[in-house]
Amino acid sequence: MPEIVTLEDRLDDGYRRHVHLMSAAPVAYDLPPHAESERGVDAGMHWLRASWLWRDPAPLCVRPDGSVRWVVLWGLLPGERISTAAPDAALQYIDTFEQVPDYVWVRTMPTGVALGEQIAMGSHDLGLFDAEWVPPGFLAAGN
């Protein structure tokens, strides 16, 4: 199997991941369903360029004691509701950290939503709160 060369794999300041890969054969890479991508062939080399909003664990929020809070940072797609995205982010948190999160944070509370409002996730509820450390357009699930 031909080697895949990584020309770019970075997370930008807006928490968007960018990858640019090349190979002598078509590039096989598992992209998330919300990724924007293009593929091509130049001078006999296959390439893939893709980018997508981050939806994975990330160390955020320096606590007063100086420690870092690990959360699942979840980029909201246009039109995506917090009530739909929060349980998905919570499941990612469970898969990663093997514990159920109690909280979801957003940068700014949606209009008409009370601080601490509960979002149903099966038999467990997630409390919704605002936090200035959450990037705009994202939510964070964690404890």
Q: What are the pLDDT digits (tens) for 88-128?
A: 999 999 999 999 999 999 999 999 999 999 999 888 999 99
The answer on pLDDT for 27 being more than 70 is: yes
My answer on whether 46 and 70 are in the same domain is no
> What number of other Cβ atoms are within 10 A of residue 117's Cβ?
17
My answer on whether 25 and 73 are in the same domain is no
The answer on pLDDT for 39 being more than 90 is: yes
Range of the domain at 16: 4-53
- What are the b/e assignments for 45-55, b being 16+ CB within 10 Å? ebbbbbbbbbb
The answer on pLDDT for 62 being more than 70 is: no
Distance (Å) of CA 106 to CA 12, 30, 55, 81, 128: 19, 28, 14, 12, 8
Specify the higher pLDDT residue, 15 or 8. Answer: 8
Domain count, the chain: 2
My answer on whether 77 and 137 are in the same domain is yes
My answer on whether 115 and 49 are in the same domain is no
3-state secondary structure of 92: helix
Q: pTM for this one?
A: 0.79
Is there a contact between 5 and 21 (Cβ–Cβ < 8 Å)?
yes
My answer on whether 104 and 126 are in the same domain is yes
3-state secondary structure of 53: strand
My answer on whether 44 and 70 are in the same domain is no
Question: What's the whole-number mean pLDDT along residues 53-78?
Answer: 82
Could you give the angle at the alpha carbon of 84 between the alpha carbons of 81 and 85, nearest 5°?
Answer: 85
